Structure 1
Amino acid sequence: MRVSTHDIVGGAPAAQPALPGSYGAPPPGYRLPASTRLGAVRLQVSHLDRSLAWYQEVLGMELLGAQGDARSLGVRGAIEPLVVLEYRPGTRPIRSSSRLGLYHVAILLPDRPALGRFVHHLAQRGVRAGASDHLVSEALYLHDPDGLGIEVYRDRPRSEWQRLGTELMMATDPFDAAGVAEAAADAPWQGMPSGTVVGHVHLHVGNLARASAFYSEAVGFDRIVWRYPGALFLGAGGYHHHLGVNSWALGAPVPHADDARLLEWRLVIDEPARALESARAAGFEVSGALAVDPWGTAVRITATGNG
C-alpha cells in the first residue's frame, strides 16, 4: 500500500519540482546551517564479537579502531567512523520497536550502483531485508543481532525531488529490486564504498509535537515532511531528512540501561555552541556537548565528526 504526502492532501496543490528554498518550514529562532551533517552513532551491544562480525560481514564495514570495550567501524581507510559499538556487561537484545529511542540508523551509499552491489551481496549471503522506495531515495532495512534497526539507502538526485506546496513529497512505495540490482552491472560488493556516510537517524518518540519542539524549535532543524502518517521528517540545507521521528511505538518504554540501544548520535555543524544554547534556552537538558530529548535520547552537537 502506498503511503505518501500526496495521498494525505488529496493531490492539491499539484506536485512541483522541489527547487532549493521552495519547501520546508524553518524554525522560528535558531536555524541549523546548510552545511549540517551527521557523524558517528554510538550503539550499546550485548556481544561485541557477534556484532563486529555482523557489521563487517553483512554491512561491509571495516574495523577502524578499538578502545576498551568500544570498536569503531566505517569505510576502509577512513578517519571518521560510521558506527561505534560499545559493549556493556549485562546488555540484552531487544525486540524491534519495543522501546522508544532508535528506530534505525541510516547508512547512505554514494549511488544506485553501490546499492545494487549491496542487494547482490545480501542475496548471496541469504540475508533477508525489507525494502521501500521513498521517492527521494531507495532503501533496504535490516536488524543487527541485538534488534537495532539499520537502513542502507541511496538518494535520488535532488533534481528529481518534488513538493506539494511547501512540503517535500515522500512515500513508501514498492522497491524496484530488479532495477537496483541491474544498476550494479555485475560488479562485486567490496564493502562500504568511499563516500558512504551516516545519512540520517530515525527515532521512536512519545509525542510528535514535543519532538518538534526539541528538534526543530530548539535544536534548529527545518520541518521538511509533516503530514506523513505518524511521522515527522526534519533536515537542514534542504535535505529530505537528517532526522525522522515517529509515534509508531506509542506506549513503549524508554530504553533501560541494560537494553541494546542508541547511546548517542552526532550532529556536526559550525558553531555548535549556538545550537546548544538554543536547546538550553528552550528548557531542555544540555550537558557539555550533549543535548537530550524528552525521552532520553542524546545528540552530541560538535564541530567535528570523529568518533
Structure 2
Amino acid sequence: MEKRFFRAPTTFVGHVELKVQDLTRSIKFYENIIGFKKLEENDRRVVFTEDGKTPLLSIIQPEDVIPKENRRSGLFHFAILLPNRMELAKVLKHLHQHHVQIGASDHLVSEALYLNDPDGNGIEIYSDRDSSEWEWDNSHVNMTVDPLNFEDLLAEVGDGKWSGLPSDTVMGHIHLHVSDLHKSEEFYDKALGFQVVNRFGNQALFMSTGNYHHHIGLNTWAGVGVSAPSKNSVGMKFFTLVYPSEDARDQVAQQVENLGYEINQEGLNVYTKDPSGNKIQLVVSNTSYVFT
C-alpha cells in the first residue's frame, strides 16, 4: 500500500457509517471475522479502528430499523485496503477457516476478496499491486475482472496466521449504486474534485484524485432511476471525504452549491448529498471526527 494515495494533497475516503439491524451481532462480525478494534462505544453506535486512533467504520442500530431494501441507490461495497499481499493471504486463509462465503477478483491494479456483513452490506478487502505495475492509457488506468489465483495468493502465507487487521489498514475506496451515472459523474467531478480514471461500459465508472486507480466507484447495476433507500433501512448512513485543508473543503462546498446541491451543517459537521441521495461528510485532513 502506497500511503501517498491516502494523505494530503490527495482527497480520499476516510470513514464509513452503516446502519445495522442488530448491533451486538454486527460487533461480533466486525471484530471476529473482519478484525476491527473498538475505538468508541455507546448503546447505539460503535466506532471501529485499526490503529487505535483513526475511525474507519462505525455502525449504528436505528430504533425503527428495517432490513436492507433492494434496487435502491446506496452502498455497493466499502473497501478495506491492506498494506501488502501477505496480509490479504492471511485474510483469505482466515475466512476459509471460518467458512465465510466470498467472491474474489484480480483487477490488475489489485487483488480483492468480497463478502457481505450479516445485514447484506457489501465489503471488499484488497491489496494493491505497486503503482509502477499499473497500466495507464493517458488518464485512464487499465482494470479488469479476472479470476483470482487462490493457490498463488495462499503460497504467500505458508504457516502464517491471521491476527486481525494490521495497524496501517485504511479505507481504500467506496463503491456506490447511483440512479444516474451522468449526473453522478458531473457531481463527483465538478463539485467534489474527482477525475474519471476508468469506464466500465455505460453502467459503471471509477474516479480518483492523485492518480490512484479509484477512490470512488459508481454504478447503475441496481437500475437506472432507482430511488434512495428509506431513512431507517439497513445500509450506508454516510461516508467521509478527507480534504487537505479548510480552504480546499470551503472551495468544494462552494462548488457543490454552484451546481445547485445543498451543503448542510450539523453541529460541527459539514454534509452534502450526491444526486442519488448518498450522504457525504466533508472533513479536513488531520482533524478529529465528530460523531452526532
By the TM > 0.5 criterion, same fold?
yes
Give the C-alpha shift of residue 68 in structure 1: 4.0
Matches within 5 A, 1:110-259: 110-250=83-223, 252-259=226-233
CA distance in 2, matches of 1:78, 1:136: 29
Q: What is the Cα deviation at residue 228 of structure 1?
A: 4.1
Letter in 1 for 2:73: L
Alignment equivalent of 1:47, drawn from 12, 22, 26: 22
1:98 equivalenced with 2:71 (yes/no): yes
| Cα separation, 2, equivalents of 1:153 and 1:162 | 18
- Pick the aligned partner of 2:260 from 283, 292, 301: 283
After TM superposition, the structure 1 stretch with the greater mean CA deviation from structure 2, 109-118 or 175-184, is 175-184
The one-letter code sitting in structure 1 at the alignment partner of 2:210 is: G
Question: Compared with structure 1, are the counterparts of its residues 229 and 124 closer, same or farther at alpha carbon in structure 2 (3 Å cutoff)?
Answer: farther
Paired amino acid for 2:276: W
Aligned 8 A contact 1:266 1:305 in 2: no
How many angstroms does 1:93 deviate by?
2.5
Partner residue of 2:234 out of 250, 254, 260 = 260
AA partner of residue 244 (structure 1): G
Q: Which residue of 1 aligns with 2:4?
A: none
Classify the secondary structure of the residue corresponding to 1:171: coil
- The size of the alignment, in residue pairs, is 274
Contact 1:62 1:73 in 2 (8 A): yes
Q: Give the whole-Å Cα distance in 2 for the aligned partners of 1:134 and 1:50.
A: 32
User: Is this contact kept in 1: 2:16–2:238, CA < 8 A?
Assistant: yes
Post-superposition shift, 1:229?
Answer: 5.0
CA separation of 1:33 and 1:113: change in aligned 2, threshold 3 A = closer
Using the alignment, how far apart are the partners of 1:179 and 1:104 within structure 2?
25
Gaps of 5+ in 2: 1-6
Query: Which of 263-272 and 129-138 deviates more?
Result: 263-272
- Counterpart Cα distance in 1 of 2:220 and 2:279: 18
Distance (whole Å) between structure 1 residues aligned to residue 142 and residue 15 of structure 2: 28
Q: What is the letter of the counterpart of residue 65 of structure 2?
A: T
- In structure 2, C-alpha distance between the alignment counterparts of 1:46 and 1:226, rounded to whole Å: 34
Q: In structure 2, what is the Cα distance between the partners aligned to 1:186 and 1:261?
A: 37
Distance 1:41 1:305, change over 3 A: farther
Q: CA deviation at 1:227?
A: 4.3
CA distance in 1, matches of 2:9, 2:196: 14
User: Partner of 1:201: helix, strand, or coil?
Assistant: strand
More RCO (CA 8 Å, sep 6+):
1
Q: 1:133 to 1:266 in 2, by over 3 A?
A: same
CA contact (8 A) 1:92 1:146 kept: no
* Distance across 2 between alignment mates of 1:129 and 1:37: 26
Contact 2:37 2:52 in 1 (8 A): no
In structure 1, the partner of 2:251 is 274
Q: Residue 276 of structure 2 aligns with which residue?
A: 295
Structure 1 position 67, deviation (Å): 3.3
Contact 2:194/2:208 (<8 A) preserved: yes
| Larger CA deviation: 177-186 vs 120-129 | 177-186
**Hey, which bits of structure 1, 4+ residues long, moved more than 6 A?**
none
Instruction: Give yes or no for contact 1:133–1:175 (8 Å, CA) kept in 2.
Output: yes
Q: Is the 8 A contact 1:33 1:236 kept in 2?
A: no
Q: Find the aligned partners of 1:227 and 1:255 in 2 and give their Cα distance.
A: 25
- Identity over aligned pairs, percent: 36
In structure 1, distance between residues paired with 2:49 and 2:102? 21
- The verdict on how the C-alpha distance between 1:305 and 1:39 changes in structure 2, with shifts beyond 3 A counting, is farther
Distance in 2 of aligned mates of 1:229 and 1:283:
25
Distance 2:143 2:243 in 1: 26
How far does residue 98 in structure 1 lie from its aligned partner after superposition? 3.0
Determine helix, strand or coil for the equivalent of 2:155: helix
